[in-house]
Amino acid sequence: MQRSIVAHTRPGFEAECARDLLRIGAHAGMEVACAGLPGSAFVTGSGEPFDSTRWQRAQQAVPPWFTRSIFVGNGPHRLPERDRITPLLALARDHQPPFSAIWLETPDSNHGKRQSGLCRRLAPLLAQEARAAGLLEDGAERRLHALFVAADEIWVGTSDRASGSPWPMGIPRLGMPGSAPSRSVLKLAEALLTFLTAEERLKLLRPGMRAVDLGAAPGGWTWELARHGLRVTAIDNGPLKGPIARDPQVEHLRVDGLNWRPRRPVDWMVCDIVLQPSRIAALVAAWMADGACGRTIFNLKLPMKKRYAEVERCAGLIDDALRQRGVRHSLAFRQLYHDREEITGYCARPG
């Protein structure tokens, strides 16, 4: 059976997800054809000539922007109504076990979520049988995915730890902290998990480091930074809410976030200002080029049309501005689970 690429995405962003797969395929020297129904929250594709090693390397070299999780396998496969475990075990054996985990997934759409209960019931039974059959092994490099697009229809494949998402469906399960002033805290928490390794989070989010939060009110991102022990300057004409407004680690300045600069460089600048993407990109480029911060996480609010082109334009604006100033940097984008009609960026100087 022909190899298939299967990708999770946010409902309504199937076209952008397909562009991700085309970009990865081009880097791998493959011609990729994609298909995905609007609102389905997943895209399937095929590449010619397909080479798993080249695909994995390309996925690491040009990480996707709008794709949450990718696996390679085949489908769709039909499952009987009564006994689903036996055919699932047979499909697992066809994908070169052992696996570190078997993830039963659904598309993140209203239709896809109808299969969530079925997956929850099957998962422990399948794991028990798979371990008894020697298909699961702690420390194995690959995970097995079974994407239930219907109760009797699945796509099956594998992802590697090195290039695949660490979470089923590419969605981290984050609890809302009770004392946080807004749900936006989850967006920054997810960004830190996405763009930084565990070792980098320990190194780059140390108590006593300094950060600036542009467009801080009501204080969700400031709260997350302060939780790690950073001293935060919150910039916003609006008020901070809850305990963060009285936190001794936080200084709140009611000034214009587009023009304010710190007197000396800070470790982090974060920005969630609602503004045209190109203006936020220019702001990020200015902070990085001037050495006002070492790292930045920022959000781009995307237009309804030509969303991929807008991210490409903003990435080019930041890269060009920093290269002209001779600033070495890394730049990455990812539409997070907690994003909506937006994408999150991360830019950093080396070291």
> What is the token pair recorded at 99?
């696996």
**CB-CB contact of 306 with 314 (8 Å):** no
> What is the token pair recorded at 270?
């974060």
pTM, two decimals, is: 0.95
As annotated, the active-site residues are 301
Rg (Cα) of the chain, in Å, rounded? Answer: 22
Looking at residue 49, its pLDDT comes to 86
Token pair 């590419």: residue: 170
- Answer left, alpha or beta for residue 90, where phi above 0 means left and psi between -120 and 50 means alpha: alpha
184-348: CATH number: 3.40.50.150
Looking at residue 20, its pLDDT comes to 98
Contacts of 326 (CB under 8 A, 6+ apart): none
Strand residues in 161-260 grouped as ranges (E): 210-214, 231-235, 250-253
**CB-CB contact of 41 with 73 (8 Å):** no
Q: Identity (one letter) of the amino acid at 154?
A: I
Q: Which helix (H) or strand (E) holds 156?
A: strand 153-160
| C-alpha–C-alpha distance, residues 253 and 212, integer Å | 10
Q: Where are the domains of the chain?
A: 4-170, 184-348
CATH entry, 4-170, from 3.30.2130.10, 3.30.2130.30, 3.40.50.720, 3.40.190.10: 3.30.2130.30
Looking at residue 87, its pLDDT comes to 97
Strand residues in 250-329 grouped as ranges (E): 250-253, 266-271, 293-301
Most distant pair of Cα atoms in the chain: their distance: 68
How far from chain centre, in Å, is Cα 193?
9
Q: Which regions in the chain score pLDDT beneath 50?
A: none
Contacts of 79 (CB under 8 A, 6+ apart): 87, 88, 151, 152, 153, 154
Token pair 């922007």: residue: 65
- In this chain, the answer to whether the domains covering 4-170 and 184-348 adopt an identical fold is no
Looking at residue 10, its pLDDT comes to 98
| C-alpha–C-alpha distance, residues 96 and 100, integer Å | 12
| C-alpha–C-alpha distance, residues 108 and 178, integer Å | 26
| C-alpha–C-alpha distance, residues 167 and 103, integer Å | 9
CA atoms within 13 Å, Cβ hemisphere of 36: 32
Looking at residue 13, its pLDDT comes to 98
